[in-house]
Structure 1
Amino acid sequence: MAALAVLRHADVVPLMGQFQGGSYQDMHELLAYVRESGRVLSYLTQKVTMSYYNFQLATAIGHFHHLFTPWLSVHGYSRLPRLLSSSCDMAAFVVVSSIYFGDVGLVEWACQHRCHFPTSYPLVDIAAWAAQLDVLRLLGNHPGTTNAMDVASRDGHLVIVTYLNQHRQEGCTKAAINLAARFNHIDVVAYLQSHRSEGCSSDSLVWAATHGHLTMVQFLLRHYYDTVSSSLAMDAASQHGHLDVVKFLHAHGQTCTTDAVDYACLNGHLGIVKFLLHHRHEGATTRAMSYAAASGHLDLVTFLRQRNVPANVKMAVTNARKNGHFHVATYLCQSDPHVEFELGTLALNV
C-alpha cells in the first residue's frame, strides 16, 4: 500500500506521464498537423531565399493558427509549456504563427520563456514579411537577414522597410528595388534609392516594362540609367502590349531586338508593330508573320504583307491552318499565288 501511495503522489504522477507514449486528447489535432506539415516550416532554418516567403508558407501557418487559436482560448497560457514540449516542432509553429498574425502578447510570453523559443528560425524576416511592426520591435535583439528588407520591399511595406533601415544592420540586396519595381511599389523604390546604396539591376526595368508600369520605368531610367538599360525592356513591353512604355523607352535611348516585333505579332499588338517598324531599325524576322498567322491576327498579317516584311508564307499558312484560322490561310494563299499553287486547295480547307 505504501508503494501504491508513492505512485499516486501528486508530484510523481506528472513525472510518470512524461515517460509514457501517446499524447493528450486536446492536443491530438495540433500534433497531427505539425507532424504532417513540419517540413514546410523547418525549411526556414536552412537559409532559404526570399522566394520561400510565399502563399504556400502563409497557408501552412494560417492552417495551424486556425487550429491553435481556439485551443489557446480554452486552455490559456498555463498549458502552453506542456503543448510546446509535446513535439520538437510545436514551439516553432506556435511562435512563427504568433509573429505572422501579430499576437504581441504571445510573442512577449515566448521571449520571456526562452527555453521554448525557436532561435534557429529567421523570426525577424518572418515579422517583416508579415508587416508586423510591433512584433519587429520586440525582436530587436534577434538576428535577421537581408531577406527581411527584400521581402518587405517586394510586398510594398514601406513602414517596415523604413524601420529596418533605421533600426537594423542587415540591409538588403538589389532584389529589394528589383522586386518593388516589378510590383509597382514606387514609394518603396524611391525610399530605397534615397536611403540605400545597394542599387538594382536591369531586372527592375525589364519587370516594370513587362507589366506596363510607366511611372516606374521613368523613375528607374532617371536614377539608374547606366545600371538598368537593357534591350529586353522594350522587347518585353512590346510583347505585352504597352505602347506608352515602348514609346518612352524609344525616346530615351533604349534599344530592342527583333523579338519586339516578332512577339508583338504573336500577341496581336498592331499599334506597337506599326510604331516599331516606322521608328526603329531592328525590324522583324520571318517569325513575325508565322506568329501572327498562328494566332489568327488577320490585321497584322495584312499589314506585314503590305510592308513586305520578310516572311515564310508557306509556314505561315501551315500555322494558320493548324490552329483553325482558315480566313488567314485564305488571305495568304490569295496574296501569294505561288503558295496557293504549291499547297493547293488543302491549304484553304474552307
Structure 2
Amino acid sequence: MPATSAAAATVVTSPELMRCIFAHQCGVYEDILPLTKLLPLHLSNRSLYFLMIGNYPVFRHHLDHFARGFTPWLKVHGTSSLPRLFTCVISMPFTVELFSACVGHLDIVDFLIDHDYVDPSIPLMDLAAWAGQLAVMTHLLARKPRDETSKHHTLTPTTLDWAACNGQLNVVQYFTKTMMAPCTTDAMDGAARCGHLDVVQYLHANRHEGCTTDAMDRAACYGFLDVVQFLHVHRQEGCTHRAMDAAATGGHLEIVQFLNERRDEGASSDAMDGAILNGHLNVVKYLVDHSSVSTSSVDVLHAALALGDQPMTAFLMNRFCLEGDFWSDEDNHHNDVVDYGIITGF
C-alpha cells in the first residue's frame, strides 16, 4: 500500500482525528440530528424560559417530550458528549440546563457548572426552586463554588419567591424550617396569584414578610375564590378596586359578589366595561342590580353591539336609554340584535 494511502487510512479510521476534521465542517452529527427536533422551532432560549414561568404545565409537556429523546441519547453517549451536542446546536446548553434543574439530574448539573455552560443570568438554584427539586437545591448548597459571586449556589430572596409562586410547598417548608431562608412579599403575592392556597396559608402562619394588595387583586383576577376569602379573613393588606374590576372582566361572578358584599374598595367603570366586552352577562346583571358601577362611555355599548352578542345587547338596550338612533346600528348591520331585544322584551 502506498504511503499516502496508508496515511489516509490511518486518518479515516481514527475517531479522534475524524472528530478534529468534522469540527471544522458544517452540519450536525447523525446521532444528534433527532435531538434538534425535540422542541418546537419557535422556542428560543428566552421563550422557553418565559414559557416555564408563564405556563408551567405547557413547559413541562415540552420538557417531557424532550426528555423522551434526550435521555436515551445521554445513556449511550454520556455527559462527555455534551460539548459536541452544544457545538452543533447553539440553543441546547440552556435547554439541557432547564432539563437538569427541573428533573433533578445531578450529573448534568455538575457537568454544566464544572465546564461553564450555565447561563449566568438565571441561577440554577432558582430554576430548581421553581421546579420543586429540593435534591438539586441541597446539592448546589453543598458544592463549593469556584466563583464566590456565583448565585448558582446561593439562596436569594428570589429563590423562595419563585418556589412559592409555583406552588412548591416542600421547598418553602424545608428552607423555612432549616434556615429561615429569605423571601419577600412576592412569595405570598405570587402564590395567591397562582391559586396556591396551601402555600399562602403556610407563609401566613410561619413567616413575617406578609403580602401586598396585589395578592388579593391577582387572586380575584384569576378566579381563586378560596384564596380571596382566606386573605380577607386572615390578612390586613386588603385589596384595591382592581380586584373587582379584574374579577368582573374575567367573569368570576362569585368573587364579584364576595367583594361587593364583604369589602368596601368597590370597583371602577372598568368592571362593567370589562364584563360587557367579554360577554359576561351574569356579571353585568349583578353589577347593575347590586352596585353603583356603570359603564364609562357609549363606546363600550357600541362595541358590545358591534360584537353581535344578542342577549347582552338586548339587556343593555333596556338598561341604558340613549338619545337618538344609537341602538339602530345601521352602520354595523346588527339590526338582528336590536330585533332580538324587542322580541324577547329584555
Residue in 2 that maps onto 1:26: 31
Partners of 2:202 and 2:136 in 1: CA distance: 22
1:160-187 alpha-carbon deviations (Å, 9 max, x no partner): 2223444578744444323322332111
1:26-73 alpha-carbon deviations (Å, 9 max, x no partner): 34444x56999798337899xx89846756755664454232222233
Residue in 1 that maps onto 2:137: 136
SS in 2 for 1:207: helix
Partners of 1:289 and 1:109 in 2: CA distance: 60
Q: 1:239 aligns with which of 237, 249, 253?
A: 249
Q: Does 1:41 align with 2:45?
A: yes
Residue in 2 that maps onto 1:348: none
Q: 1:97 aligns with which of 89, 96, 99?
A: 99
Q: 1:314 aligns with which of 292, 311, 325?
A: 325
Give yes or no for contact 1:41–1:57 (8 Å, CA) kept in 2: no
Residue in 2 that maps onto 1:344: none
Partners of 2:62 and 2:46 in 1: CA distance: 12
Give yes or no for contact 1:50–1:150 (8 Å, CA) kept in 2: no
Query: How far has the Cα of 1:256 moved from its partner?
Result: 1.2
Partners of 1:49 and 1:179 in 2: CA distance: 16
Query: How far has the Cα of 1:313 moved from its partner?
Result: 6.3
Residue in 1 that maps onto 2:269: 258
Give yes or no for contact 1:285–1:310 (8 Å, CA) kept in 2: no
Partners of 1:324 and 1:180 in 2: CA distance: 46
1:115-148 alpha-carbon deviations (Å, 9 max, x no partner): 3763735222222222222222222243355554
How many percent of aligned residue pairs carry the same amino acid? 28
More moved, 48-57 vs 212-221: 48-57
Please give the TM-score of this superposition, normalised by the length of structure 1: 0.68
Q: 2:228 aligns with which of 217, 241, 244?
A: 217
Q: Does 1:190 align with 2:201?
A: yes
1:70-149 aligned within 5 A:
70-73=72-75, 75=76, 77=78, 80-85=79-84, 87-88=86-87, 92-104=94-106, 106-107=107-108, 110=111, 114-115=114-115, 118=118, 120=120, 122-140=123-141, 141=143, 142-143=152-153, 146-149=157-160
1:53-68 aligned within 5 A:
54=56, 58=60, 61-68=63-70
Partners of 1:160 and 1:185 in 2: CA distance: 14
Q: 1:187/1:4 Cα in 2 relative to 1: closer, same or farther (>3 Å)?
A: same
Query: How far has the Cα of 1:155 moved from its partner?
Result: 2.5
Partners of 1:232 and 1:165 in 2: CA distance: 32
Partners of 2:220 and 2:291 in 1: CA distance: 18
Give yes or no for contact 1:286–1:310 (8 Å, CA) kept in 2: no
Q: 1:317/1:191 Cα in 2 relative to 1: closer, same or farther (>3 Å)?
A: farther
Query: How far has the Cα of 1:239 moved from its partner?
Result: 3.4
Q: Does 1:301 align with 2:316?
A: yes
Query: How far has the Cα of 1:296 moved from its partner?
Result: 1.5
Query: How far has the Cα of 1:208 moved from its partner?
Result: 2.0
Q: Does 1:163 align with 2:167?
A: no
Partners of 1:210 and 1:2 in 2: CA distance: 78
For structure 1, the 5+ residue unaligned runs are 336-350
Q: 1:50/1:76 Cα in 2 relative to 1: closer, same or farther (>3 Å)?
A: closer
Residue in 1 that maps onto 2:339: 327
Q: 1:241/1:16 Cα in 2 relative to 1: closer, same or farther (>3 Å)?
A: closer
Q: 1:324/1:170 Cα in 2 relative to 1: closer, same or farther (>3 Å)?
A: farther
Give yes or no for contact 2:38–2:65 (8 Å, CA) kept in 1: no
Partners of 1:323 and 1:263 in 2: CA distance: 24
Partners of 1:174 and 1:312 in 2: CA distance: 50
Partners of 1:256 and 1:115 in 2: CA distance: 55
**Residue identity in the other structure for 2:315:** L
Query: How far has the Cα of 1:230 moved from its partner?
Result: 1.0
Partners of 1:276 and 1:86 in 2: CA distance: 59
**Residue identity in the other structure for 1:295:** D
Residue in 2 that maps onto 1:229: 239
1:64-123 alpha-carbon deviations (Å, 9 max, x no partner): 4232222233x254xx3134345345555445423322334x347638x82376373522
Partners of 1:292 and 1:39 in 2: CA distance: 36
